[in-house]
Structure 1
Amino acid sequence: MFRKVRKNFYKKKQQLQVPEQQALLSSDLYENLHVLRSMYQDCFDVVFKTFLIGGQTNAVLVYIDGLSNIVEIDNHVLTPLMSEPEGRVRSLHELVEKKIHISKTKEIKTIVECIENISVGNPVLLVNQEECGIALGLSSWEKRSVEEPSAESVVRGPREGFVETIAINTSLLRRKIKSPALKMKSIKIGRYTDTLVVIVYMDGLADQTLIKEVENRLRRIEIDSVLESGYIEELIEDNPLSPFPQLLNTERPDVAAGNLLEGRVVILFDGTPFVLIAPITFFSLLQSPEDYYQRYMTSSIIRLLRFVFIVLSLVLPSIYVALLTFHHEMVPTTLLISIFSSRESVPFPALVEALMMEISFEALREAGVRLPKQVGAAISIVGALVIGQAAVQAGLVSAPMVIVVAITGIASFMVPHYSQGIALRMLRFPIMLLAGFLGLFGIMLAVITIAIHLCTLRSFGVPYLTPIAPMKGDELKDALIRAPWWKMNKRPHLTGEFNPYRQSSGQKPDPTQGGE
């Protein structure tokens, strides 16, 4: 009940603060100017350029300095309109057709349409005695060039990534998928930022129920601002209390295109290079785009190696703590003597020692990420070496513990996606606590709890452990290993009806059969 009242209050407050925006444009130019000037009061970068058309008709061009192309405005708008012969009166539509040679023009009739176009850099032309205006597609601002994403680099594959401009991002997808079946729906979210959000899907591949669900979850959001895709990710995921991400974020157009061709939905945001992909599975987050560019045997071995090291990054410190605390008999005698001899001067139990080293390692990792690139790598490497060596010599930690933490850190770097890596790093600490108090029984208890949680998790209705649970034999070709392309004839079945075949069968190379 309280939530409903608060929602209604939010809507009323929003309507009360800006009632002028819902008004239609008046035929009186000065009345329109009064409304716009009052709304853009104390905005020095908003330009109101007044001039005469034909020496007698008052007009004004409203734009934001820095968001609009000033050269195009001068050459293709102001110059032809101000050079109109005196005494000749034209209608607004005739002026646009005869004098303004711009490909993108749009008629607007309300104040809110004026504000929307001015805010994105499209100048608005208002003429006296006209009850409508014209928005001119002359937006222009500084854009970052397309370059390779630093967080998702590959040895073999495309070297381009999304940027902060949504028009460039949509064009990058169009370059990958040239079919008109690639559909894009746009909505705006954010009371003040009015951020453009685009839902991208393949018509005939993506389930219509999934598309409607994504659209409904986005449309019900009421928020002041959307400055990054992370704002929306937390508002549309199925289980917000889970440490595991339920949407995939990426900067790579090839990853987005590959998921679109498997029937998923991609969500683009203006102002950020990160896009969201839904639905996903646990195995989607452990796959690298390079798995599909290398030969299948190489990709399969690397993927299996990745799974092994991901398990180690989650439980290796906990197993070490459990063995030294409760299960000495499971360690070979020679190794046990070596470990205890190195721990003679260590004043802390194994659990405290592991927590100290893991927290220090995480702090060094975060410091290396946040510091400038020129010094970040040097600080993290030198800090790890110096602190680790000094701690061992001072007798605060043992050398085997440093080795275990180092192997765990290296294993955690095998996770291809940063969001999944954070989830595994978070879970490592409660597992260590359970290992310190309950031994291997505590580790098994934690693993079973995590497995149960993963079995109950959904991403837009799709089970998180697909295709293992529920078991789908055909889709196992792209789960733990990567089958050769001539074997993966079917695309994954996510939700509802779908187009099952991505390629024809019988495409295995055979030199004995000549081509036609």
Structure 2
Amino acid sequence: MFDQLITKIRSKNTGKEKPLLDEQSQAGKPLSSAIEHNQQALQQIFEKCSDISFREFQLHSTKKIKAFIVYSDSLCKPEIINDAILKPIMLEVSARTENLQTKADLITNTALYTDTNLETNAGDMPGIILQHLLTNYKADTLSLVSEAANAVLEDNLVLIVDGYPIGIKASVQGYNIRQINEPTTEPNIRGPRDGFVENLGTNLSLLRRRIRTSRLKAENMTVGTLSKTKVNICYIQGVANEKVVAEVKSRIERITIDNVLDSSYIEEFISDEPISLFPLVQYTERPDKAAASLFEGRIAIIVDNSPSVLIVPCTFIALIQASEDYYYSALFGSFARIGRFIAINIALLVPAITVAAFSINQALIPISLLNTVAGARESLPLPISMEIFLMELVFELLREAGVRLPRTVGQAVSTVGGLVIGQAAVDAGIVSPTSVVVVGLTAIASFTFPDYNVGTSIRIIRFSLIIMASVFGIVGIIFGLMILLTHLCSLRSFGVPYLSPIAPLTPQDLKDTVIRVPWWAMITRPRFFGDKEPLRSDANQLKQKLKKRGNRK
């Protein structure tokens, strides 16, 4: 019955829709030889678009041929239009058309408008403009009204000449782009300082600077029926798995939505699991991190108007690795990673273990510690499970307030607020100092995750474990961890196991997990990523290094 009601509502909403008078109504309609028809069709498409400008003029030739340009004021630079487009066309076109055929002869010669003849026949007015006057710009021909409309919306100027059923588009991009700065979400001490911005071309150039090979492929796609957002799929040919590349393309092509404003829209559509606490698609604002992922055989998805580049396939190990792990020595990088793994266990288990130990499994606590804590909690009104749960909740509110407020104010609110509230709660006899210490230690440990989504997942699971520990004690924690581990083992990201190379175990890939071996020992790429070209360095470098060390006197 409920399904029938939903079907009726959907049929009622979709059955009475009226067609819109936009570029969709002009799809497939060719440009006309009459300039009036072309101008009327484009004006109909851009009706009530105040930033779309039409300018009519005459080519300065003996026949005074009419022409007009259409462009967007908000996307184009007037200086480029005046100096590089209009002046060359209006002042120099007459000199190149003095000894050409008449306009009537050109119109009757229909073979003149094919793409091949357009490039070779000097008697074609659009061909003269395209070949001789716009050679320094990204210019091309158009044959459909919808193509002209889309070109205007993609930072181009469109030129229509009377008597020719074709148009010319030229790039005149002029909107402001944010400067390349260090990403605030992924700061580092050592390494490159540049970060992705909201422009797709700029982001692609940042990758090209690091991967100077023609094997770096960037395939362009468009997503969004209204936004028409450009999406680039980047991978290194011969290193990335072709099946995974094809699967990425297939999933993006299946996306049907009216707008894509950020890469997170794409992330939710292409993720293997529709609902999971753990991210199955990695994102980064660091070009060096994206380039390193491409060298491993993974795929980067760049979305226009978004500074976050998506990386697939994704594993849990990759999410807890930082770029700085590779810029310092192997010993320092391994030490940092081991500390990060310890921090994950602290952030996930310490509050739940504290609740279980002091409320249900008190036999696990030494007598001296138990007497000290019991004396401090003698006059407190709430059980320790409720104290820790409420303190964690208050800390989450402070964290959210610190994010939403301005940066200078937010840091003061989150830091001072936590200290003041914690001390005031202890002095008022609401919570014990033990709860404040546990929550503070957990908060510090949760700040060590390089990926923000992983920290969010750990915080949600931490609340679940606290509840299970308050009811079942240590048994509830073990049961919750078993469910969590089973879920992680079942996850896949584009066919790659989420816990690889630990589960399933791949011994040769353990060199870059909890510890990091030196670069001269990283001979192969991860098995699940770069299996087509596994070797990434010479295997004899280690032998040469040991041999040289043995000859030392």
Taking structure 1 as the reference length, the TM-score comes to 0.95
The one of 26, 34, 37 equivalent to 1:31 is 37
Cα shift readout 1:18-53 (whole Å, capped 9, x = no counterpart): 221331111121111112111211111111011111
Greater shift, 74-83 or 57-66, is seen at: 74-83
TM-fit CA distance, 1:81: 2.0
Give, in whole Å, the separation in 1 of the partners of 2:18 and 2:265.
Answer: 20
TM-fit CA distance, 1:10: 8.1
Kept in 2: contact 1:102–1:136 (CA 8 A) = no
User: In structure 1, what residue type is equivalent to 2:539?
Assistant: S
Counterpart of 1:389 in structure 2 is 423
| Equivalent runs, 1:326-365 vs 2, <5 Å | 326-365=360-399
TM-fit CA distance, 1:76: 1.7
1:478 partner SS: coil
Give, in whole Å, the separation in 2 of the partners of 1:472 and 1:492.
Answer: 9
Give, in whole Å, the separation in 2 of the partners of 1:12 and 1:419.
Answer: 42
TM-fit CA distance, 1:95: 2.4
Give, in whole Å, the separation in 1 of the partners of 2:392 and 2:327.
Answer: 35
TM-fit CA distance, 1:424: 0.8
The one of 202, 225, 230 equivalent to 2:259 is 225
Give, in whole Å, the separation in 2 of the partners of 1:512 and 1:279.
Answer: 39
Counterpart of 1:139 in structure 2 is 173
The one of 344, 347, 359 equivalent to 1:310 is 344
Give, in whole Å, the separation in 1 of the partners of 2:85 and 2:310.
Answer: 39
Give, in whole Å, the separation in 2 of the partners of 1:115 and 1:493.
Answer: 47
1:227 partner SS: coil
In the superposition, relative to structure 1, how do residues 15 and 424 fare at CA in structure 2: closer, same or farther (>3 Å)? farther
Counterpart of 1:250 in structure 2 is 284
TM-fit CA distance, 1:112: 2.0
1:21 partner SS: coil
Counterpart of 1:59 in structure 2 is 67
The one of 81, 95, 98 equivalent to 2:89 is 81
User: In structure 2, what residue type is equivalent to 1:19?
Assistant: S
Give, in whole Å, the separation in 1 of the partners of 2:216 and 2:271.
Answer: 24
Kept in 2: contact 1:266–1:278 (CA 8 A) = yes
The one of 73, 79, 83 equivalent to 1:71 is 79
Greater shift, 34-43 or 462-471, is seen at: 34-43
In the superposition, relative to structure 1, how do residues 365 and 437 fare at CA in structure 2: closer, same or farther (>3 Å)? same
User: In structure 2, what residue type is equivalent to 1:463?
Assistant: P
TM-fit CA distance, 1:300: 0.6
Counterpart of 1:185 in structure 2 is 219
Q: What 5-or-longer segments of structure 1 have no aligned partner?
A: none
Kept in 1: contact 2:200–2:305 (CA 8 A) = yes
TM-fit CA distance, 1:108: 1.1
Give, in whole Å, the separation in 2 of the partners of 1:257 and 1:318.
Answer: 39
- RMSD of aligned alpha carbons: 2.3
Q: Does 1:272 align with 2:272?
A: no
Give, in whole Å, the separation in 1 of the partners of 2:17 and 2:345.
Answer: 51
TM-fit CA distance, 1:107: 0.8
Q: Does 1:19 align with 2:25?
A: yes
Counterpart of 1:370 in structure 2 is 404
Greater shift, 494-503 or 340-349, is seen at: 494-503
The one of 23, 46, 49 equivalent to 1:43 is 49
1:63 partner SS: strand
Kept in 2: contact 1:76–1:102 (CA 8 A) = no
Equivalent pairs, count: 514
User: In structure 2, what residue type is equivalent to 1:58?
Assistant: K
Cα shift readout 1:330-388 (whole Å, capped 9, x = no counterpart): 11112112212222232111121111100100111111111101211111111001111
| Equivalent runs, 1:350-499 vs 2, <5 Å | 350-494=384-528, 497-499=531-533
TM-fit CA distance, 1:13: 7.1
TM-fit CA distance, 1:496: 8.4
Greater shift, 346-355 or 80-89, is seen at: 80-89
Kept in 2: contact 1:188–1:194 (CA 8 A) = yes
Kept in 2: contact 1:207–1:263 (CA 8 A) = yes
Give, in whole Å, the separation in 2 of the partners of 1:39 and 1:47.
Answer: 13
User: In structure 2, what residue type is equivalent to 1:70?
Assistant: P
User: In structure 1, what residue type is equivalent to 2:449?
Assistant: V
Give, in whole Å, the separation in 1 of the partners of 2:389 and 2:89.
Answer: 73
Q: Larger radius of gyration, structure 1 or 2?
A: 2
Give, in whole Å, the separation in 2 of the partners of 1:186 and 1:276.
Answer: 15
User: In structure 2, what residue type is equivalent to 1:44?
Assistant: S
Q: What 5-or-longer segments of structure 2 have no aligned partner?
A: 104-123
TM-fit CA distance, 1:77: 1.4
Kept in 2: contact 1:67–1:121 (CA 8 A) = yes
Paired-residue identity, %: 39
User: In structure 2, what residue type is equivalent to 1:263?
Assistant: G
